[in-house]
Amino acid sequence: MLPDSLDATEVVAMLTRSARELRVAASELDALDATIGDGDLGSSLAALFEGSVDEVDTAKASAGLVLKEIGESLMRRCSGASGTLYALLFTTVGAELADDATIDLPELARAFRCGLEMVKQVGGASLGDATMVDAIEPFVATLEARDGDDVTMDRVLSTAADAAQRGALSTTELVAKLGRARGFGDRSLGHVDPGARSFAIIAKAWAGQS
């Protein structure tokens, strides 16, 4: 069970789980990427997150500072389009939350909304373009809605992670309009976008599922 207010230890654990789950899924993501890209997305993202998580000072007292540091580390280390977009997402989230010792749901939702908007603005993707935005948007929307009567961090993050995965799967019905996959036209139909799937993996790790 995740607490309703995330402290530094909890955030470090979420990030560590993200890196571990990306490593576990590296071959799956490489294979998805190989159908429409150059087949290294999983290996690259796993190495990027592992390196950045290793670099973060886990003794930080503040949850916000941990996120700020992970964002900065990703930005220093990133390579390739997907890595750079994750660096942009997490530097924005980290900058929004840097002053917060602990993080509650409304703050998390607001910070991820800012991060998502930055990724959309700089990356140029909208919902339905078969990119990572198709997983991040429903994740953020679920955090923002906080529907139902059991509005706990644990349940809402879990619901949001499910929404991210549904969003990732929805990309099989979409024609890629951006990134390397764009040149493949209709051939991207029937394939899960590896960028969207990678965010679903991270979201699931954040929700404490494995």
- Contact residues for another protein (CB under 8 A)? 30, 34, 36-40, 42-44, 47, 75-85, 87-88, 122-123, 178-180, 182-183, 187
By beta-carbon proximity to another protein, the closer residue of 45 and 153 is: 45
- Contacts for 66-74: CB closer than 8 Å, 24+ residues apart: 66/8, 66/11, 66/12, 66/15, 67/11, 67/93, 67/94, 67/97, 67/98, 67/103, 67/111, 68/94, 68/95, 68/97, 68/98, 69/94, 70/15, 70/94, 71/95, 74/48, 74/49
Nearer to another protein, 12 or 125 (CB): 125
Which token pair is 24? 């576990």
> In the bound complex, what is the minimum distance in angstroms from residue 38's beta carbon to another protein?
4
**Phi and psi of 6, rounded to 5°?**
-85, 125
**What is the end-to-end Cα distance of the chain in Å, rounded?**
13
Taking the complex as a whole, the smallest distance from the CB of residue 92 to another protein amounts, in Å, to 12
Minimum Å distance from CB 183 to another protein? 5
Query: Could you tell me the smallest distance in angstroms from the CB atom of residue 75 to another protein?
Result: 6
What is the spatial distance between Cα 13 and Cα 208, in angstroms, rounded to a whole number?
9
What is the token pair recorded at 54? Answer: 């290793």
Shortest distance in whole angstroms from residue 23 CB to another protein: 12
Token look-up 């997907």 returns: 82
40 or 144: CB nearest another protein: 40
The smaller minimum CB distance to another protein, of residues 73 and 170, is found at 73
Place of tokens 């207010």: 5
Nearer to another protein (CB atom), residue 30 or residue 193: 30
